[in-house]
Amino acid sequence: MAVGFSLPHVPLLVTQKWFDLYPEEDVELPGMLLDDRKDTPRFSWYLHWKLPEPRQRFLLESGEQLKIVQAYLASISFVDSQVGRVLSALEDNGLMDDTVVVLWSDHGYHLGEKEITGKNTLWEPSTRVPLMFAGPGVSRMQVVNSPSELLDMYPTLSELCGLEIPDHVEGRSLLPQIKDSNTARIAPAITTHNHDNHGIRADGWRFIQYADGSEELYDLTNDPNEFNNLISDPSHTTAVADLRAMLPKTNLKSVEGSQNRILIYKDGVANWEGEVIDARAPIPN
């Protein structure tokens, strides 16, 4: 059974009782800087060049920064309650002991980090999602810190349910990590945004390479907010080389006729949704 919930997602609207859980005076803002794009490539802006989501500057100037975080937290709590209803139904119907439950989401969301809101990036706020397993064959109260992909869910569920994993299925079963959180993962987690823009998450690093060849590197162990792009630091040359080797070898353009949020880079020219981006154009606010 698949059960989907549309929140947290814009518009961040729930009833007042969920907002009351998070008075504005108690809301904590996510870790962010006012000029956190000074060490990121201009190409990073092209992934969300012209989008309806407000930028950090607008949130601060309009006094909406606390409110958007409050609304996001309220939306999460509302969905938590709906998940609780599903779990209660399993328990009430005697199904809890032989049902594998997985909770996940499709993407994360910026709430001012990297000067934007929204999801169209290769940084941690966009690409990190909750992923929780419970049920038969799953160790209780275990936290796995190694990276994983949502592609891994199919083979994981197949193995937990005793089903054969088809050869064509991508992803790797997470059962070794589910059984023992100290088990090393042999592959990184890769996120792709349009063609030739990839984020690699492995061994405490986030490495990003954009279609124009520009890059970023973050030490997430010491810099979980990704404030400091270390790509130019010569002491990390070996790590960068290892991470580059993990990039996908095959990259395809979008299917012909694709329109929304499509970024194309060809012959040194970036094109957003069918319009050429002037290399000298100011960053849209």
Q: How does pLDDT run along the chain (285 residues), one tens digit per residue?
A: 899 999 999 999 999 999 999 999 999 999 999 999 999 999 999 999 999 899 999 999 999 999 999 999 999 999 999 999 999 999 999 999 999 999 999 999 999 999 999 999 999 999 999 999 999 989 888 899 899 999 999 999 999 999 999 999 989 999 999 999 999 888 999 999 999 999 999 989 999 999 999 999 999 999 999 999 999 999 999 999 999 999 999 999 999 888 899 999 999 999 999 999 999 999 988
Residue spans per domain, the chain: 1-30+50-142, 148-186
Can you tell me the distance from the alpha carbon of 198 to that of 211, in angstroms, rounded to the nearest whole number?
8
Q: Bin 194: left if φ > 0, else alpha if -120 < ψ < 50, else beta.
A: left
pTM of the model: 0.94
Task: Write out the chain in H/E/C secondary structure.
Answer: CCCCCCCCCCCCCCCHHHHCCCCHHHCCCCCCCCCCCCCCCCHHHHCCCCCCCCEHHHHHHHCCHHHHHHHHHHHHHHHHHHHHHHHHHHHHCCCHHHCCEEEECCCCCEECHHHEEECCCCCHHHHCCCEEEECCCCCCCCCCCCCCCHHHHHHHHHHHCCCCCCCCCCCCCCHHHHHCCCCCCCCCEEEECCCCCEEEEECCEEEEECCCCCEEEEECCCCCCCCCCCCCCHHHHHHHHHHHCCCCCCCCCCCCCCCCCCEEEECCEEEECCEECCCCCCCCC
Residue 41 Cα to chain centre, angstroms? 19
CB neighbours of residue 252 within 10 Å = 8
